[in-house]
Structure 1
Amino acid sequence: MNHLSMEQILERIYLSEQFEEMRITRDQVHEMFREHLLFPYRSELGQQINQVHDALIHRTTQIAEHLLEDEGYGKPPVAYAFILLGSGGRREQTLWSDQDNGIIYGDSETHTQDELDLYFDKLASYIIRGLDVLGYPPCEGNVISSNPQWRKSLQGYTEMMISWFMEPDWENVRYLLILADMRCMYGSEVLVKKLKQSFIDYVQEHPELLRYLLSNTLHHKISLGIFSHLITERYGEDAGGFDIKYGAYIPIVNGIRLLAIQAGILATSTIERIKQLKVTGFVSEQLAHDWEMAFTIALKLRDLTPFQLEEEKYTTRGKLTAEQLNKEIRLELKQCLRTGIQLQKYVSKSIDLHIEREKR
């Protein structure tokens, strides 16, 4: 397997006819990538990991469609999109990412709502079963297409989204920010783009909503003390380790996402969002460079966290061990965290100024 090119790996995935067949490929590719992580980090590695995830999930959806057709349910009754949310939506999955997904489908003049519900409920169950076989654990927050909340028509999603905007409590804002990262994995890009555009348009028409989004965005603080010391885990099996996911990666992701929403940017990848913020003149080249560097460090260190297989699912607690925090890693991490703190301050100030301007 070490000698297979990306083209050969992808071909093997797309030639698979069964979920179990793909699981064998995933396990082999997983070990291949783990070996690469022992050497100096390359950003291309993260891109390749996400390319493999995309292929596995894309092919899983295709096979699920075929299984439904074989059982007599026919082809999809309307256009639909299988969407990825969370790190999958941002193309930032690690080797051990979980499932965050949904289904958006179009309207129909020839099928009843019950018929559409039946088909897409079945389709979701087959996709989730396939991803389960492949070793993707379900999202702990139940943000998954087997949950009817994340399996709706475009109109249903739009109405749900607006209801969240109209009552922006903590939970609804959390859902809105999850939705902001959606990406079409399979099916109709048009449906996804329409929902994304509706999201951006609504915020631009109601700029005061940015204040609610900001509160949630800043919930996770950068884990760097006032004397530039790392805030590490104090207790348990991770004692002395560092929570790279929630102490560095998530705060940076959240800050960049909110600036992208403010700027009306539809991209979901954090790197792409930074690039578009720079290209549109929303932020300076120097800031964009600093943020991209900090984010790249966070991605690299997140990929180094230990993983485990639990009930045949790949999982991680997202923490670097105390042993991994050598002098070089600590220096790099502190550089990333200092930039992250500056980013959070910038986002807060940017939103405040934007809302004040809109009031005039």
Structure 2
Amino acid sequence: MRFLYRSSPWRALFAGESLPDPAGLSPELSPELSMLLAPLVDALESLGPTPSLAAAKAWQFELVEALMRLDLPAWRISQLISDHGHWLYRQAVATSLDDMLATGWGPPPRPYCVLVLGSMARHESLLAPDQDNAMIIGDYPDARHSEVDGYFQALGERFTDCLAAAGLPLCQGHVMARWPMWRKRLSEWDAQLAIWSAERRVKRVQQTNILLDFAAVYGDAGLADSLRDRALARLARAGGFLDEMAVLLEETPVALDRLGRLHGDDKEAPQSGALNLKRQGLIPLQNAVRLMSVLYGCRGVDTRLRLSELVCAGALDAREALTLHTAMNRLQAILLATQCRRLGAGGLADGWVVLADLDEAEQTLLRLDLKAIRRLVGRAKDLVGASSH
């Protein structure tokens, strides 16, 4: 399904341990083509080759502005923001490991994998995210728990503190590897999923939804692959749990009234006519696609990749998936442009969009996109209902 999801040379930009060398971006290009890359070259030169972690995090807004000047679509910029976020995580974990080695902790006592969760794991980050992370530790005997878990608790505390000091805030909901809930042996994660999926309880469904969007960012990625195998195998058999996941889709309705007009839920709205397009646009789409992916055993994490896998599984036809792909692109474009304007004016980046800031054509397309997302939510609920009978 290349028309929905394909690799790109842009994704190599932050794949290394060092930041890209601006001098090496266009050494053999003509002056005319080199000028096309000038915004990115200028941004990298302003950052410098060895910035502090805080400087690299603060630079993210400048990066986004440069990528916009290169006419990259918002969804690709979102991927690159996420890739840059992964790079920040790798730097923070590596620095923390060096500090622990220097202070007598020694090397890690067991294989482990640091995970990012949520939008950064899906490569769908916008500006100003907080931390969402977890850790998988290779299994070990209970008798070694104090020794082994003590080491990884210290590592979790150090790298999350390092990221917080750099400008990536600690998660207010405590979804971080510094806490035992989100730092477990592989067998313990399997047991935790068994507990969470055994009953129809809202909190357990919410916790599982958080965990299901994970990506390995440092350490043994094989542990992440094993966890994904176990999670999909276990949840595919949890009919009642999937029913509750479907019910929870109603908790975040799209920003439309019954007549299909744009209308937010007004929760904490900063002003009249404001919609939280993240909460009532992107999140319903991501939640519905995640649920369908669990139902069909799809291994992808990115929403776009999951849409492709759902087409291959026969859960969606290609036209539906492409419509949803386009809707997501436009929602991300609106949100990213709004966040950039607010940050540029000294404000905060959040999920709110003021309808008056959108012209008539943009509002019409937004209605169509939200209607497509609402249809998908209904489809997901119907599929779960059909599978339980």
TM range (shorter): 0.7 to 0.9
TM-aligned CA distance change 1:109 to 1:87, over 3 Å = same
Partner residue in 2 for 1:256: 289
TM-aligned CA distance change 1:98 to 1:59, over 3 Å = same
Separation in structure 2 between the aligned mates of residue 98 and residue 228 of structure 1, nearest angstrom: 33
1:197-251 Cα shifts (integer Å, max 9, x gaps):
1111112233333111111233210111123321146575333211111110000
Which shows bigger deviation, 300-309 or 346-355? 300-309
1:140 Cα shift?
Answer: 2.3
Structure 2: tracts of 5 or more residues without a match: 1-11, 22-46
1:65 Cα shift?
Answer: 1.0
Cα contact 1:84–1:183 (8 A) shared by 2: yes
Partner residue in 1 for 2:234: 202
Separation in structure 2 between the aligned mates of residue 236 and residue 178 of structure 1, nearest angstrom: 25
1:266 Cα shift?
Answer: 1.4
* Identity level (%): 21
TM-aligned CA distance change 1:105 to 1:319, over 3 Å = same
TM-aligned CA distance change 1:154 to 1:315, over 3 Å = farther
Structure 1: tracts of 5 or more residues without a match: none
1:116 Cα shift?
Answer: 1.1
Q: Which amino acid aligns with 1:26?
A: K
Matched, 1:164 2:206: no
Secondary structure in 1 matching 2:229: helix
Separation in structure 1 between the aligned mates of residue 338 and residue 302 of structure 2, nearest angstrom: 21
Matched, 1:28 2:59: yes
1:100 Cα shift?
Answer: 0.6
What RMSD, in angstroms, separates the aligned Cα atoms of the two structures? 2.7
1:322 Cα shift?
Answer: 4.2
Q: Which amino acid aligns with 1:32?
A: L
1:317-347 Cα shifts (integer Å, max 9, x gaps):
3111344222233122112101011111111
Equivalent of 1:274, from 293, 307, 314? 307
Separation in structure 2 between the aligned mates of residue 101 and residue 161 of structure 1, nearest angstrom: 17
TM-aligned CA distance change 1:40 to 1:13, over 3 Å = closer
Secondary structure in 2 matching 1:112: helix
1:39 Cα shift?
Answer: 8.1
Partner residue in 1 for 2:376: 343
Matched, 1:153 2:185: yes
Q: Which amino acid aligns with 2:240?
A: E
TM-aligned CA distance change 1:323 to 1:23, over 3 Å = farther
Cα contact 1:220–1:246 (8 A) shared by 2: yes
Partner residue in 2 for 1:223: 255
TM-aligned CA distance change 1:111 to 1:190, over 3 Å = farther
Secondary structure in 1 matching 2:134: strand
Separation in structure 1 between the aligned mates of residue 257 and residue 70 of structure 2, nearest angstrom: 30
1:111 Cα shift?
Answer: 7.4
Equivalent of 1:295, from 324, 328, 334? 328
TM-aligned CA distance change 1:13 to 1:233, over 3 Å = farther
1:238-293 Cα shifts (integer Å, max 9, x gaps):
33211111110000000000000000011111000001111233321111111211
Partner residue in 1 for 2:80: 48
Secondary structure in 2 matching 1:237: coil
Count of residue pairs the alignment pairs up: 345
Matched, 1:97 2:120: no
Pairwise mapping of residues 169-188 of structure 1 onto structure 2 (< 5 A)? 169-188=201-220
Cα contact 2:236–2:295 (8 A) shared by 1: yes
Q: Which amino acid aligns with 2:374?
A: I
TM-score by length of 1: 0.88
Q: Which amino acid aligns with 2:56?
A: T
